[in-house]
Chains A and B, each alone.
Chain A
Amino acid sequence: MDAEVEHFAQFVAARERALQRTAWLLTGDWALAEDLVQTALARSWPRWERIRRRDDPEIYVRRVMVNTWSTWRRRRWRGERASETVPDSPAPGDVAADLATRMAVRSALGSLTHRQRAVVVLRVFDDLPEAQVAQVLNCAVGTVKSTMARSLAKLREDPRLAGLMEQEAR
């Protein structure tokens, strides 16, 4: 049991930031992202030994995270949200440019369906192979491919995102 506790602690310490970043791309909100990661880890922890034995823990946690997010999308209040910190706090660097990028990405991702958004985040941002994305989303690899193609086509149509991508290319 102690070994499990130790392994879980190591996993959380090593992966929580990556998981939170994925969660932000799914939710578009840091508070929600943190909540989502905590929930996914809390759901995974009671089965940690089995997850370690049978599964890749990272894939399992991400699957729980995506499923939980899908459930939240169906159930949660999506209007105004209370927050203990003011969202537009000062930040170092080119604040205006960062904010423009963030808003453009959030808006572009928001135009996708929840499955398209999950595929883009897992495949592009987390760089998971198609087979693993299919495993996380519990669908066929072919579905991941077609969803990915449709998602990219849709994102390319977004003028603000297209402009930013051109800048990145340069």
Chain B
Amino acid sequence: MSDTSRQLRDLLDAAVGDPPHTVTVQAVRRRVARRRIIESVAAVLVAVLVAGVGVAVATQAHGSGVANGPRPAAGAPRYYVQQQFGTGPAASTVVRATATGKVTATVRCQPGTSLVQRAIAAATRRTFFLACQTHTGPRGKQVITGSRIYRFHLTAAGRIAGYSLVPGGSLGGLSAGEVTAAANGSEIAVGTLPAGHVSPSESADIMVINTRTGARAVWHSSPAVPGKMALAAGDLSLTADGRELVYLGTPRCIAGHCQPTGNGQEVRALRPAAAGGQLSSSRLLVRQATLGRLASTYLDGAVVSADGSSVDVLKMLSPGQGPTTVSVIKVSAATGRPVRVLYRVTTGNGFSFQTFSSDPSRGYLILVAGPPGGTIPNGYIYHRHLVPLAPADGSNVSYETW
């Protein structure tokens, strides 16, 4: 050891002095016992955490299917609107609490008008738009004379408040069909046909209404050409900002006799939605053939994501023999290719499809589809499972949204 080191050692020795306390074996043992308790508690916590993660992973890995287990997702809307088949009170449109299924309000049109099926759409989860038709003539022989678009809000308790006519929502001489709304409520899109039309000889136009100014723009369908299939627009949806309008086009023979075309459905986009023009000028997003080449493949619904980057498509694969598969597939709007399967269920021989819709955030997709006859599961898709909505049987549901 060098001199410097030796001097330093003496200095350190002088500086240290004597410890004020003695470390005893008892103190060390107490610390060991305390460490063991802490480690045991930590081990239990880790085990609980690992078990929880394991269950979650197992649930995910289990695959899709109607799930009895999943609890309602925390972010799901608190209320949903349900339209039912039937006549009289049975055909009512009601607001239900998501958690319990309890009816909190009944949606009605003004006296002398009637609510249009599938013509109700949500914006901002608490704001809904709906279409009511005006008509003349005796019951059973009524003729539609026009439509009106109304807006209402839901209170925290699920009651209806602020029911009012939307600026630009009085559509004289037009029969309103389905309605969709931008998540910010600034724009709505309505499928329209001339009042007194005889379906399906005409294809619907789409009217986009600015709900603040009442300004309207119309996207016209192609004029009917005898013997030629035309795309009929349905399943309208708007991006959150209302800039893009997406629809599912299904080939339909409007006039004369047409040669059937297989797998010709297309999801198309109109941008800017408020511009108006010809539906034929729309941009192709998804081809039916991309999602399935079999003739038994059919698209039953499409909803654009809030930002327009993808489209959630409902696909039915129903071969003549063998089970039917119902799939909800997220498709990239940029490439038209499937990104992932959000939900898949096999319904057996055949299927019943009632409704497919989304909340304004596009995070919660309602699906009422299942085996033919009997109970049809009513629920929404969450992490590849169908979380049941109350009432669980959707066989009498004609439309639902939130």
Do A and B interact with each other, yes or no? yes
Interface secondary structure of B, over-half rule: helix
The reply to whether A102 and B7 contact each other, CB–CB distance below 8 Å, is no
Chain A residues near B16: list those with CB within 8 A.
21, 24-25, 125
Which residue of A is nearest B13, CB measured?
A125
Q: Is B58 an interface residue (CB 8 A)?
A: no
The reply to whether A25 and B17 contact each other, CB–CB distance below 8 Å, is no
Chain B residues near A106: list those with CB within 8 A.
15
- Interface residues in A135-168 by Cβ distance below 8 A to B read 152, 155-156, 161, 164-165, 168
Compute how far the CA of A105 lies from the CA of B9 in the bound complex, rounded to whole angstroms: 11
Compute how far the CA of A19 lies from the CA of B29 in the bound complex, rounded to whole angstroms: 17
Which residue of A is nearest B3, CB measured?
A169
Compute how far the CA of A168 lies from the CA of B7 in the bound complex, rounded to whole angstroms: 6
Q: Is A52 an interface residue (CB 8 A)?
A: no
Compute how far the CA of A21 lies from the CA of B3 in the bound complex, rounded to whole angstroms: 22
Compute how far the CA of A165 lies from the CA of B11 in the bound complex, rounded to whole angstroms: 7
Chain A residues near B14: list those with CB within 8 A.
98, 101, 168
In this complex, the interface size class of chain A, counting residues with CB under 8 Å from chain B, is 35 or more
The reply to whether A46 and B22 contact each other, CB–CB distance below 8 Å, is no
With A34-B23, A98-B17, A106-B15: A155-B32 Cβ-Cβ less than 8 Å: no
With A42-B31, A106-B15: A152-B5 Cβ-Cβ less than 8 Å: yes
Task: Report A's interface with B, CB cutoff 8 A.
Answer: 8-9, 12-13, 16-17, 19-21, 24-25, 30, 33-34, 37-39, 41-43, 45-46, 85, 98, 101-102, 104-106, 120-121, 123-125, 127, 152, 155-156, 161, 164-165, 168-169
User: Nearest chain B CB to A17's CB is how many angstroms away?
Assistant: 6
Closest 7 CB pairs of A and B: A105-B15, A42-B31, A20-B19, A16-B23, A165-B7, A41-B28, A21-B16
The reply to whether B31 and A38 contact each other, CB–CB distance below 8 Å, is yes
Q: Is B25 an interface residue (CB 8 A)?
A: yes
A-B contact pairs, 16 of them (CB 8 A): A9-B25, A17-B18, A24-B16, A34-B19, A38-B27, A38-B31, A39-B31, A42-B28, A42-B31, A45-B28, A101-B11, A106-B15, A125-B9, A165-B4, A168-B14, A169-B7
Compute how far the CA of A122 lies from the CA of B2 in the bound complex, rounded to whole angstroms: 15
In this complex, the interface size class of chain B, counting residues with CB under 8 Å from chain A, is 20 to 34
Chain A residues near B35: list those with CB within 8 A.
42-43
With A20-B23, A102-B17: A124-B9 Cβ-Cβ less than 8 Å: yes
A124-B1, A127-B1, A152-B4 provided; 4 other pairs, C-beta below 8 A? Answer: A37-B23, A38-B28, A120-B8, A155-B8
Compute how far the CA of A30 lies from the CA of B25 in the bound complex, rounded to whole angstroms: 18
Chain A residues near B13: list those with CB within 8 A.
125
The reply to whether B11 and A168 contact each other, CB–CB distance below 8 Å, is yes
Chain A residues near B272: list those with CB within 8 A.
none
User: Nearest chain A CB to B124's CB is how many angstroms away?
Assistant: 46
Chain B residues near A120: list those with CB within 8 A.
8
Chain A residues near B9: list those with CB within 8 A.
124-125, 127
User: Nearest chain A CB to B43's CB is how many angstroms away?
Assistant: 15
The reply to whether A105 and B12 contact each other, CB–CB distance below 8 Å, is yes
Q: Is B257 an interface residue (CB 8 A)?
A: no
Chain A residues near B12: list those with CB within 8 A.
25, 105, 121, 124-125
